[in-house]
């Protein structure tokens, strides 16, 4: 039996996090949620995520700071981080930080495209040889 891939969702809007979690769980992923930046950074360091969905505007610690810290952390820099934000201006203001993201989605985003991007990042390279 395949081991479920773990996705950390760092999103302060509970309704959005719930929708994302339901979609991801329906697709067979294990989901860990964090509702502020401090909780999210701690979870990123402790839960061993295979991928992180990160909002930029968060209470306590900004998403840009989380992105910066994780991408310079030797143990975690290879974890794919997909930024999902509603603020185009926020993203533009932090272009140097958001350029470290592996993918970027502006809310409202295309759910099918987001799910396909997640699947691409979490593909098992060994399965494609079959």
**CATH says 6-121 is which class?**
alpha beta
How far from 33 is each of 14, 24, 62, 67, 92, CA to CA, in Å? 9, 12, 16, 16, 26
Domain ranges within the chain, ordered by starting residue: 6-121
Helix, strand, coil fractions of the chain, as percent rounded to 5: 45, 20, 40
Cα–Cα distance for residue pair 22/117, rounded to 1 Å:
17
pLDDT, tens digit, 9 for 90 and up, residues 93-123: 556 666 789 998 888 888 899 999 999 999 8
Task: Provide the mean pLDDT of the chain.
Answer: 88
Per-residue confidence (pLDDT) for residue 129, from 0 to 100: 40
């Amino acid at each position: 039996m395949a081991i479920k891939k773990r996705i950390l969702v760092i999103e302060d809007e509970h309704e959005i996090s719930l929708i994302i979690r339901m979609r991801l769980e329906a697709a067979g992923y294990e989901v860990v949620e964090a509702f502020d930046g401090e909780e999210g950074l701690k979870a990123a360091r402790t839960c061993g995520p295979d991928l992180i969905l990160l909002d930029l505007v968060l209470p306590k610690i900004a998403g840009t700071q989380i992105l910066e810290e994780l991408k310079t952390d030797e143990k975690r820099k290879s974890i794919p981080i997909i930024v999902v934000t509603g603020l185009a201006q926020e993203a533009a203001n932090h272009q140097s930080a958001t350029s470290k993201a592996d993918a970027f989605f502006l809310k409202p985003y295309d759910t099918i495209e987001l799910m396909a991007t997640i699947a691409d990042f979490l593909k098992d390279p060994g399965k494609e040889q079959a």
